[in-house]
Amino acid sequence: MTMNRLAAACTAVLMAAAGLVQPATAAAAANSGTSSIPVDGATQIQMNVTADCVAAQNRCFFNTTANLMTPTGPTGFPGDTWARQTITIRSSDRDVWQEAWYSAPSGTPRELKGANHNNVLSKMYKAINDVQISITYFGGGPIERFKSDGDTAPTQWSTGLPATGSDFIACSQIQVVYSGVNLTTPTACAQTTFG
């Protein structure tokens, strides 16, 4: 009798626990990463990166934002700022080519090579299996000035078909120089797949 009660109690506990366990969900196709470096005891330079792949378009998208994080929240950079940002987009599959376009700052026309938009100079460098974008900022301003975005069509070298089975990695760092400050953030990365 005691054994039956114990078995019934264990069964009830196990069934209750099973009800609390959430079913497995599919992996999200978007990811983000943030890195920062302290300027002083109250302020940090932050680099934020997001990556998202959309299977219906066979494309991956990336966004980056650099800002100062202050006790009152994120803000742009002082007027005497000079900064250089590097963005690298790639896959861990060495057989994937990235056919990329970007805007720096966000909202400007998409670029394939390089541009100068309001003293934000940019240049894209393509390699066999990655793309690097170099962005140089002359002067400070609001956070919007330090945002960039882009997209790529990951393609298999061997077949010429969309590389929807491979992962997508977007990484970025920024060196920021202004009155007494010369700091480079650690690299922030976001890694995702087509879902």
16 has pLDDT over 50: no
pLDDT band for position 98 (cuts 50, 70, 90): very high
pLDDT band for position 67 (cuts 50, 70, 90): very high
Q: Rounded to whole angstroms, how far apart are CA atoms 103 and 105? A: 6
pLDDT band for position 195 (cuts 50, 70, 90): confident
Report the amino acid identity of residue 36.
Answer: S
Query: Which of the listed CATH numbers 3.30.70, 2.40.160, 2.60.40, 3.40.50 matches domain 27-192?
Result: 2.60.40
N- to C-terminal Cα distance for the chain? Answer: 52
Model confidence pLDDT, tens digit, residues 143-164: 999 999 999 999 999 999 999 9
2 has pLDDT over 80: no
Q: Are 190 and 169 contacting, i.e. CB atoms less than 8 angstroms apart? A: yes
pLDDT, mean of residues 80-98: 97
Q: What is the mean pLDDT of the chain?
A: 88
